[in-house]
């Protein structure tokens, strides 16, 4: 009964959410699109002709925005463990980012092109066990950062969703070791009660900068 009441309350909130209503009206696949839009408006991350990797892309609202912004001159690779309806201008790979075979597919799709921007909205399936969920969330963020450091061109940018909690401070320190600027963004579309924030790393250091091992 409690779960049923909780589900009904969530659905009621979801249907009356102004960002959900706006996304439906404007043809975007989820309310999350407005998080990326606000960050891009502030930080000017997306430009025509860029090479972008979108991790945790489904259902594809971020992919929709990126594809429009980088235009046909750019290259956009989107990846998610879940299926996703095609987005014009994006190549989609379905698979688990934690698996080497899937990572190899992603690397092959880049065709050796250095990446301008990696965006990651990945999050684990929530078990309800706080410490476990936080650990799995931080692990995904660390994997996304490792990928970014290996594939971004020097000076490239990295935007990643993280949840404040155990491991967060260590993650921020590692980002500061790898990027010239590191900023925390909490878009208006992020629900106030959520510990979700977006970490933005600007200006990946060149290879002469020592890369610290990821925190495990």
SS3 (DSSP) at 20: helix
Q: Which residues are catalytic?
A: 161
What is the rounded CA–CA span in Å between residue 74 and residue 68?
Answer: 10
Q: Following DSSP, what letter does each residue of 154-177 receive, concatenated? A: EEEEEEEEEESSTTHHHHHHHHHH
What is the rounded CA–CA span in Å between residue 204 and residue 156?
Answer: 5
Cα angle at 197 between 192 and 203, to 5 degrees?
Answer: 150
End-to-end Cα distance, the chain: 39
Q: Let me know how many helices (H) and strands (E) the chain has, helices first.
A: 7, 7
Range list of H helices, the chain: 2-16, 18-26, 33-43, 61-70, 100-110, 130-151, 168-178
Check if the beta carbon of residue 58 is closer than 8 Å to that of residue 83. Answer: yes
């Amino acid at each position: 009964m409690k779960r049923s009441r909780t589900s009904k309350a969530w659905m009621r909130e979801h249907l009356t959410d102004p960002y959900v209503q706006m996304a439906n009206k404007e043809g975007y696949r989820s309310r999350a699109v407005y998080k990326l839009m606000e960050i891009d408006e502030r930080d000017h991350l997306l430009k025509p002709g860029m090479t972008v990797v979108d991790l945790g892309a489904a259902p594809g609202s971020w992919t929709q925005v990126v594809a429009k912004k980088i235009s046909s001159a750019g290259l956009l690779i989107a990846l998610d463990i879940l299926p996703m309806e095609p987005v014009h201008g994006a190549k989609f790979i379905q698979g688990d980012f934690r698996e080497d075979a899937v990572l190899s597919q992603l690397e092959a799709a880049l065709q050796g092109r250095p990446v301008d921007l990696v965006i990651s909205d990945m999050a684990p399936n929530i078990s309800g066990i706080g410490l476990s969920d936080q650990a799995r969330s931080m692990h995904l963020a660390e994997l996304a950062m490792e990928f970014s450091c290996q594939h971004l061109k020097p000076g490239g940018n990295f935007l990643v969703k993280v949840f404040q909690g155990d491991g967060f401070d260590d993650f921020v320190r590692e980002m500061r070791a790898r990027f010239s600027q590191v900023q925390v963004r909490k878009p208006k579309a992020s629900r106030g009660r959520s510990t979700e924030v977006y970490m933005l790393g600007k200006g990946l250091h060149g290879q002469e900068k020592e890369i610290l091992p990821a925190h495990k």
